[in-house]
Amino acid sequence: MRFAITIACIAVLAGCASAPSWPDPQPDSGQILVHLDGKARQGVRTANNREIVGEYDSAKENTERGANFERVNYGAIEDVVVILHGTRQTSARGPGVRPILAVGNMKFSRQQVAMLPGGTLTLRNDRSSAVTVFGASDDEFFELTVEPKTTGSVTVPRAGVYEVMCEEDESLSCTLYVTEGICWIGPSSESAFFIDVEPGKYTVSVYAPRLPARSFDVTVEAGTRHTATINLSVNDLPKMKR
């Protein structure tokens, strides 16, 4: 009996620890809360997961790992970018903006990165040989060579969406969002939260790796929180005919 009670207490504590809480909006500003909901294509089952219970928390692990295949877990999409555009936005940034990218032996450390115009993108080369990384948007181009096991940096002056690639390995790719809007980056298991937003009209854009972009307009009022749920899926893409 005592063992059962202990397990129940751990489960309750894990649930409390994982449940996010957000502060109430201030009387002179508003908030925008965007829940990210990953969904597989209609008619396709989601990944099989098992729950791993730790001492203080719990997590889900994909059970379909294999040498050549692993089903996408749409509930844990990494590096989702959420950008808030509006005429009254301030210079405040979201908690997930980290303009750091590592070049590994198999892939970049991240699928998407975001930063302010004129900011510095840091590149860490984990390989045993030098690499040249370049990024291109519709109007701008940058290039940086980083020696093995060292770190370099490059300034990206203009806003835009950059495709970042590696000259030595064409299989490596990453999308860099250089934006003047307020930005949040995180996994689909979390929610994008914008606090102390000045009252006014805004557009919220959501970009998940290799999935259709989503956007919606919102009017922020003082003392209120606007909450929205964005479905991240491939269901809007046209289906191929056989």
Instruction: Locate the domains of the chain by residue range.
Output: 21-46+74-232
In the predicted model, what is the mean pLDDT of the chain? 80
CB-based contact 117:158 (threshold 8 Å): yes
Q: In this predicted structure, what is the pLDDT of residue 212?
A: 86
pLDDT in tens, 207-238: 999 888 999 999 999 999 999 999 887 666 55
Owner of token pair 């009254």: 88
Alpha-carbon span 170 to 42, nearest angstrom: 32
Q: How many CA atoms lie within 13 A of 20 on its CB side?
A: 10
pLDDT in tens, 153-175: 999 999 999 999 999 999 999 99
CB-based contact 154:144 (threshold 8 Å): yes
More confident residue, 22 or 227: 227
Among the listed residues 237, 210, 240, 229, the one whose alpha carbon sits nearest the alpha carbon of residue 72: 210
Give the count of beta carbons closer than 10 Å to the beta carbon of residue 101: 19
Domain 21-46+74-232 has CATH 2.60.40.420: yes
- Sign of the CA dihedral 22, 221, 79, 128? negative
Owner of token pair 């590994």: 104
DSSP one-letter code for 18: H
Q: In this predicted structure, what is the pLDDT of residue 182?
A: 87
> What is the arithmetic mean of pLDDT over 185-205?
91
Q: In this predicted structure, what is the pLDDT of residue 50?
A: 72
Residue 145's H or E segment, with its range, is strand 141-146
Confidence of residue 240 (pLDDT cuts 50, 70, 90): low
H-type helices in the chain, by residue range? 2-18
Q: What is the pTM of this model?
A: 0.75
